[in-house]
Amino acid sequence: MEVLRVDPSLGVLSLQQEQEKAAIRQALGLVSLLRAQTEDLVSEYLSHQGPPFSAPGFSYPRPQIDGLPTLDAIVLLINPWKRLALSLSAFGSLSGWFAVVLRWQKELNPRAHQLHTRLEVCRQDLRALRSNLGSILGKLDLSSSPTSMAPKAFKQKLTGYTICWSYREWLFQTERDLMIMAAETAV
């Protein structure tokens, strides 16, 4: 039997709708926390890469990463539920890429222990985030593994930069989408 909660100002919300709202609010809290924690991730990453990456104001075209959806104008035009599904896919891909970037950084910058820890924490945080988003969307976590390996140090560093930058951008977009979804009122 489904329990109904009646609030004259909001209408009637079912138990399932209440649970969905709670799951969205929980995911929003996690995304907001992770976004705040990644504010300086890109600059920290770049600071360990040496010139030209560590130069002030470094900017370089970010390459397309295998298996990682891009945030572009077309993605932004679709509804938040569909964007959330893309976020889940992006976070699955990013999780695999963080493992690869961590391995590369251990070879390229063996003394950058704080960066290594930070990359591992990002990878672990993605596991929790993917679980939350998967439960909202009712989807299994379909993680994808990186299919392309960057053989040269410059390309490895550039790929790592793109992964850190993409993670931050996907968190921003996911936070915006969850805010929209949390503000929606089911009637």
pLDDT tens column, 152-176: 999 999 999 999 999 999 999 999 9
Q: Cβ–Cβ contacts within 10 Å for residue 15, how many? A: 12
- With 80 as the cut, is the pLDDT of residue 186 above it? no
- With 50 as the cut, is the pLDDT of residue 3 above it? no
- With 80 as the cut, is the pLDDT of residue 151 above it? no
pLDDT tens column, 26-81: 999 999 999 999 999 999 999 999 999 999 888 888 898 988 888 887 767 778 88
CA angle 81, 84, 90 (to 5 degrees): 155
pLDDT tens column, 91-137: 999 999 999 999 999 999 999 999 999 999 999 999 999 999 998 88
Does domain 4-53+65-183 fall into CATH 1.20.1250.10?
A: yes
pTM for the model: 0.83
Q: Cβ–Cβ contacts within 10 Å for residue 67, how many? A: 18
Q: Cβ–Cβ contacts within 10 Å for residue 109, how many? A: 16
Q: Residue 2 — very low, low, confident or very high, per pLDDT cuts 50/70/90?
A: very low
Residues written for the chain: 187
CA distance 187 to 185: 6
CA distance 131 to 110: 31
pLDDT of residue 140: 61
Domain ranges of the chain: 4-53+65-183
Question: Among 183, 171, 184, which Cα is nearest to 32's?
Answer: 171
Q: What are phi and psi of 180, to 5 degrees?
A: -65, -45
DSSP-derived letter for residue 2 is -
